[in-house]
Amino acid sequence: MSDPLITLAAARRRLQHTPADISSSSNPKWRHLRELLESARERRRSGQTVLEGWHLLDAWLATGRPIRQLVIPQRTLQQLAGVPASDGDDIDESVEHSSPVQVAANAHWLILDDRLFGELDLLPSPSPVLAVVDTPRPLLPARLGEGGDIIVLDRVQDPGNVGAILRTAAAAGVQTLLTTPGTAACWAPKVLRAGMGGHFVMDIVENVAPHALQALVTHLPLAGTVLQGGQSLYGTDLRSPLAWVFGNEGEGIAPALQERLGLRLTIPQAAGVESLNVAASAAVCLFEQRRQRLV
């Protein structure tokens, strides 16, 4: 990936507007930002979310999608001022609308007083940049499952698990992920952090009611793991597209969905120990499928 600091420095040189300086906590833009970070309700209401840190910003810029606001603390602005113009920086005219530099330049820049930036409820890590974006809300594909595997998260509650599965799914090449009500919200900052950009290469459709799911997933067999009594993951042909269902941490897959599993799989594991965590289970399943397709 590129160095987002260089990208931002180039974007800054072609800004068409003057960045807004914010130094008061009564500023409505600051308040909105704080609410987006702290409140799931506000994220739903506004249809927006916040990306924290260079890595997510970089991955988002690579998609070419617009950014509403780039939020930068004073100290990062000073860093940008110190980045020398690069060779490619002059070839302005040729830069596409969706290039990372142009996407960053088209955003509204908010420059935050360092103290105000420090007051935000950010994840523990030095992440001196934020981006406010419209939460992608893809429509359900009309012919779900004709484009490859899909993943269904059934009431997976832990944000770290949801993020980990998104990251793993992206690495496995899965492009569609659905969640049932009760699953942690995918676009929360903590899930985004764990997803490491996996969100941006997938179509994520949240809160699909189980009955809607049953109507939708008609092209693909549902595959899920059960602790005992399933057929061995390793003895099953997984090469055709599947709809993988990963269930709640404590309760597993809901009974109504369990009944509809075309493949009830068991991961053979050591005796007398706790079962795999759902994110580890997903990694084992998705990469076993990948292995079978590669060999």
> What residues line the site for a second copy (CB under 8 A)?
59, 160, 164, 167-168, 170-173, 194, 196-198, 201, 232, 234-235, 267-270, 272-277, 279-281, 283-284, 287-288, 290-291, 294-295
Tokens 């602790």 correspond to what residue?
227
Tell me the closest approach of the beta carbon of residue 156 to a second copy, in angstroms.
15
Question: Between 226 and 276, whose beta carbon lies closer to a second copy?
Answer: 276
Concatenating the DSSP letter of every residue in 74-125 gives HHHHHHHHTSPPPGGGG-GGG--TTSHHHHHHHSEEEEE-HHHHHHS---SS
Find the angle CA(269)-CA(270)-CA(272) to the nearest 5 degrees. 120
Nearer to a second copy, 46 or 275 (CB): 275
Smallest separation (angstroms) from a second copy to the CB of 163: 9
From CA 255, how far away is CA 210, in angstroms rounded? Answer: 11
Q: How far is the CB of 162 from a second copy (least distance, A)?
A: 13
**Token pair 């060779």 is at which residue?**
87
Q: Are 109 and 72 in contact (CB under 8 A)?
A: yes
Smallest separation, CB 100 to a second copy (Å): 14
What is the distance of C-alpha 33 from the center of its chain?
19
Scanning 152-201, the segments in alpha helix (DSSP H) are 159-172, 189-195
Q: Least distance in Å: CB of 172 to a second copy?
A: 7
Instruction: Decide: 170 and 198 in contact? Cβ < 8 Å.
Output: yes
Residue 290 Cβ vs a second copy, minimum distance, rounded to whole Å: 7
Q: Which is nearer to a second copy, 93 or 274 (CB)?
A: 274
- Residue with smaller CB distance to a second copy, 100 or 197: 197
Q: Which is nearer to a second copy, 142 or 270 (CB)?
A: 270
Instruction: Quote the least distance from Cβ 268 to a second copy, whole Å.
Output: 6
Give burial (CB, 10 Å; 0-12/13-18/19+) of 169: buried
By three-state DSSP, how is residue 174 classified? coil
Q: Based on CB atoms, which residue is closest to a second copy, 5 or 276?
A: 276
Is the torsion defined by CA of 113, 114, 116, 121 positive or negative?
A: positive
Closest of 131, 138, 10, 166 to residue 60, by C-alpha: 131
Contact 36, 47 (CB under 8 A): no
Output the smallest distance, CB 191 to a second copy, in A.
13
Give the residue with the Cβ less far from a second copy, 6 or 169.
Answer: 169
Residue 214 or 277 with smaller CB distance to a second copy = 277
Contact 294, 239 (CB under 8 A): no
Query: Which run of H or E residues covers position 212?
Result: helix 210-216
- The torsion angle over the Cα atoms of residues 232, 233, 236 and 241, rounded to 10 degrees, is 150
